[in-house]
Amino acid sequence: MFMLASLLALLSLAIAQPLSQERVAAQPPPPPAASPSPGPEHHDRAPTDIFRLQPLAGGVYALFGRGGNIGFLVGPDAVLVIDSQFKDIAPGIVEKIKSVTDKPIKYLVNTHHHGDHVGGNEIFRPFAVIIAHDNVRKHMLASPAEILRDGPGRLEQMKKDPSPNPQNIQALTEQIEWAKKVKVEEIPAPVLTYNSELRIHVGGETLQIWHTPPAHTDGDTVIYFEKANVLHMGDLGFIKVIPVIDAAHGGSPRGYLAAIDNVLARVPANVTIVPGHGEVTNVEGIKVLRQYIEDLTGAAQKAKAAGKSKEDFVKEIELPAYKDWNGYPARFKGNAGAAYDEVR
Ligand SMILES: [Zn+2]
């Protein structure tokens, strides 16, 4: 029973978002290039081998699987990992890391609380200190109450849908059951939390870890590896993917602009950037994302100034330049609504 409860705990964190229409849209996007492409080598892969490893610099790697991109640092005595994706694949993540080093995994940093970034925490908890911003712990511990508040209504909606999705209904039903029973101490939340800034020293490498203005959520963390000159941006980084702006957990389009500016002002122009979703990039790649958010907030401002209602604005707006980004149909209108709510 404990196993089941734990499984559901993670399941629920993974899909704790879909408790309203907008939050369904806020589901973590599928990693566009993270899955193996079906090709000639397809049959040579073990079905569970969904991982792709990309060495960067100074012992820092990017690891693509399912969910938010993982970063990890191999130090002389210890390994530090950024984000844990989902529980079902977390053992595979550990295995993949072990394929490049026999050093123990001692630290896990969560960039924020979404289930595609913290879903594997339980697997890491026995051996790694889990570190994140204060609000990540807060949101993870609040998850059962949120599910009990929003879940039953959402379940009703799902059942009324003309073409109901039995898998989603089953998952949400299980979440609600889990939320009724789970004990706070069973939730694999970070045990070491910080408010504004933290440094971690692993061998000769120093990691600058800081909290940005609320952007994707109000618990966002970025991690800069000084020596390797690599930055992990968590979900402040979406490359050719429409971002999730989780307004229900403090996310904000204007905050996104401020957060990107805050981060880019602190790192060298030639930094290598691991985004939460999409391929490894650089400052130019992040500037494209910034431009998207600026275009969106600009359009919202213009519409509001012209007296257009939110409903009309959201219905009418399109930004064709970004239509080929992954997640445009699912999330663009949600982003537009969040932008409209914020501008004056
Ligand atoms: Zn996220």
Question: For 265-297, how does the pLDDT look when each residue is reduced to its tens digit (9 = 90+)?
Answer: 999 999 999 999 999 999 999 999 999 999 999
What is the edge-to-edge ordering of all strands in the sheet holding 230-232? 197-202, 205-211, 221-225, 230-232, 272-274
Ligand 1 center to residue 225 CA distance, Å?
A: 21
Supply the pLDDT for residue 30: 35
Rounded CA-CA distance 88/296 in Å is: 36
Going by C-alpha positions, the residue among 166, 186, 168 that lies closest to residue 176 is: 168
Query: Distance, CA 243 to ligand 1 centroid (Å)?
Result: 9
- Nearest 5°: phi and psi at 241? -135, 130
Distance CA 261, CA 7 (A): 38
- The CA dihedral of 317, 323, 325, 327, to the nearest 10 degrees, is 60
pTM assigned to the model:
0.85
pLDDT value for 79: 98
- CA of 41 from ligand 1 middle (Å) equals 31
Pick from 19-28, 120-129, 132-141, 228-237: least confident = 19-28
- What is the CA 71 to chain-centroid distance, rounded? 13
Q: For 38-95, write each residue's pLDDT tens digit.
A: 333 444 445 457 999 999 999 999 999 999 999 999 999 999 999 999 999 999 999 9
Instruction: With a cut of 60, say whether residue 2 has pLDDT above it.
Output: no
At residue 179 the predicted structure's pLDDT band, cuts being 50, 70 and 90, is very high
Q: What's the rounded Cα separation, in Å, for the pair 232 and 209? A: 10
Q: Work out the percent of the chain whose per-residue pLDDT is above 90.
A: 85
* 252 Cα: distance to centroid of ligand 1 (angstroms): 13
What average pLDDT does the structure give for the chain?
A: 88
Tell me how far CA of residue 133 lies from CA of 12, 176, 233, 328, in angstroms.
20, 26, 14, 29
Query: What distance in angstroms lies between residue 8's CA and the mean position of ligand 1's atoms?
Result: 19
Is there a contact between 239 and 278 (Cβ–Cβ < 8 Å)?
A: yes
pLDDT value of position 6: 37
> By the 8 A CB rule, do 93 and 65 touch?
yes
Quote the pLDDT of residue 49.
75
216 C-alpha to center of ligand 1: Å?
7
pLDDT at position 42 is: 41
Most confident segment among 10-14, 30-34, 310-314:
310-314
When pLDDT is averaged across residues 177-205 and rounded to a whole number, the result is 96
pLDDT for 25 equals 31
Q: For residue 235, how far is its CA from the centre of ligand 1 (angstroms)?
A: 5
CA of 150 to the centre of ligand 1 (A): 19
pLDDT value of position 27: 37
pLDDT of residue 344: 83
**CA 308 to ligand 1 center in whole angstroms:** 30
